[in-house]
Amino acid sequence: MMIKLRPAMLMLSLLAMLLTSCATPRLGPRPWEELSGERGLASWYGHPYHGRRTSNGEVYDMHQLSAAHREIPLGSWVEVINLNNGRSLTVRINDRGPFVDGRIIDLSYAAASLLGVTGPGVVPVRVRLIQAPQGDAGPGRYSVQVSSFTAESNALALKAELEQKISGVRMVKALVGGEAYYRIRVGHFVSRAEAQTAAERLASLGHRVLIMGSEDRP
């Protein structure tokens, strides 16, 4: 039996479907920020890229322990574990890529050799963020600054308070005119629109917020 919906009910149903289909930018950590890490495939690159500029302006040296990732802030240190043989290594992210579906990280020749990747070429790995650069949200990325303090204890208190409500909260230390400032920021967002959504949520909790882009000073 076919059930006919009245116009008002039909409009409400369509609105509900629209709202549930819209992806809400999450404030929580991305896979590579989780303790369990991000899983996917790793590849490697050497010649003819050796000697070329990387995404952060450095000259690519295939004999250094570095890697390319599409999202992790440049200058970060990550742990890479080869899930086939259990070998692990810490490398620095200084480039963008790989741009092949299913692959999450491109290793330098040196890193790939130590992890046992050069032979098979592509292996399953786990990637976990170890240390991000202080105050760096990464090129083309945004974060939301909630407050800034000269007293570290005040910053830590706010950080602990926010962590009870949301995830992805961090403290950034910056030196301005020789004086230390402790700034509380939330998230790593690809677009300003995502950061704006997060900022509005934080503002609704009673905080005065500021959207920070990668071009802003720490």
Please, what's the b/e burial string for 55-68 (b: 16 or more CB within 10 A of its CB; e: otherwise)?
A: ebebebebeebbbb
Q: Residues of the chain with pLDDT > 90: what percent?
A: 34
**Residue intervals in the chain for CATH 3.30.70.1070:** 142-213
pLDDT in tens, 12-70: 555 555 444 444 444 455 676 666 689 999 999 998 899 999 888 889 999 999 999 98
In eight-state DSSP terms, residue 203 is H
Q: In this structure, are residues 63 and 125 in contact, taking their beta carbons and an 8 Å threshold?
A: no
**Residue intervals in the chain for CATH 2.40.40.10:** 31-131
**The predicted structure's pLDDT at residue 140:** 41
- The tokens describing 217, both together, are 């000073």
Q: Closest Cα to residue 214, out of 134, 139, 135, 132?
A: 139
* Residue 63 vs residues 51, 67, 108, 204: alpha-carbon distances, Å: 11, 11, 7, 50
Superfamily of domain 31-131: RlpA-like domain (2.40.40.10)
1-9: average pLDDT: 49
**Predicted TM-score (pTM) above 0.75:** no
**CATH number for the 142-213 domain, one of 3.40.50.720, 3.30.420.40, 3.20.20.10, 3.30.70.1070?**
3.30.70.1070
- The tokens describing 167, both together, are 């995830």
